[in-house]
Amino acid sequence: MNAYLEETVAKYLHPSDDYISLTEIARKFDAKNPSYLIQSWLRNRNTVKFLATWERNNNPDFNEAAKFVCSPALRDREDCEALWQALSDGLLTAVSSDHCGIDVAELKQAGRNDFTQIPNGSPGAGDRLHMVWTEGVCTGKLTRQKFVDVIATQPAKINGIYPRKGTLAVGSDADVVIFDPNYEGTVHLADNPNGVDYNLYEGRRQSGRVET
């Protein structure tokens, strides 16, 4: 990646008065395939925690702050909004979970006296559908059809298992999710155990819930 492209994309990653949109960057640098470069740069950011977590964690409590140590670092709301727009526009095509089960009580304590030694990673596999629905569909950023596309159809295509997976059709596997779009509640680890001793979204509002 050339230096000018890197500097230009950095303006997106750190919004400022001279903010440049994803679409403008993509068109400027690859008119034939306008999403390729930006997708390559942002591919490791297209996980649910980068879409639904924008708070800067300045909590002096080590056990709370350590929960949010991951790579790349979590960003501000402006960056989250730009990623939602890229997802809606098709510059980003799917949402993954990037689940990394590292307990706070034991493993993350390695960095208590030196934050650079905190093991990077956070959980999220069980929250992907709920957070994408809550922060995407319920806020008008994504349509219901786009929701299905980014959490089911496109992941199946990317992994080469479509149409056996990722669609409801004759001959496809009968992997059906029953989803209640009217559920309203709060995220709690006890309701959705993930093999780790915390939930990144603990206490957050949740709309919609997988029934089976």
Residue 96: strand pairing partners: 47
Residue type, 163: P
Instruction: Kindly list the distances between the CA atom of residue 165 and the CA atoms of 58, 153, 209, in Å, as whole numbers in the listed order.
Output: 42, 8, 21
Look-up: residue for tokens 């925690």? Answer: 49
Instruction: Kindly list the distances between the CA atom of residue 107 and the CA atoms of 66, 68, 69, 117, in Å, as whole numbers in the listed order.
Output: 10, 14, 12, 10
Enter the tokens of residue 11: 């303006």
Q: Which residues contact 109 (CB under 8 A, 6 or more apart)?
A: none
* Helix, strand, or coil (residue 1): coil
Look-up: residue for tokens 């740069």? Answer: 41
8 Å CB contact between 206 and 183: yes
DSSP 5: H
CA distance 209 to 212: 9
Distance of alpha carbon 53 from the chain centroid:
8
CA distance 37 to 40: 5
Check whether 55 has a pLDDT greater than 70: no
- For a pLDDT cut of 90, what percent of the chain falls above it? 44
Residue type, 18: D
Q: Which residues contact 211 (CB under 8 A, 6 or more apart)?
A: 178, 179, 180
Would the CA dihedral through 85, 200, 154, 152 be positive or negative? negative
Within 13 A of 53's CA, how many CA atoms are on the CB side?
26
Average pLDDT, the chain: 80
CA distance 148 to 166: 9
Tens-digit pLDDT profile for residues 18-54? 444 555 555 555 544 544 444 444 444 546 677 766 5
Check whether 82 has a pLDDT greater than 90: no
Residue of higher predicted confidence among 129 and 193: 129
The model's pTM is 0.77
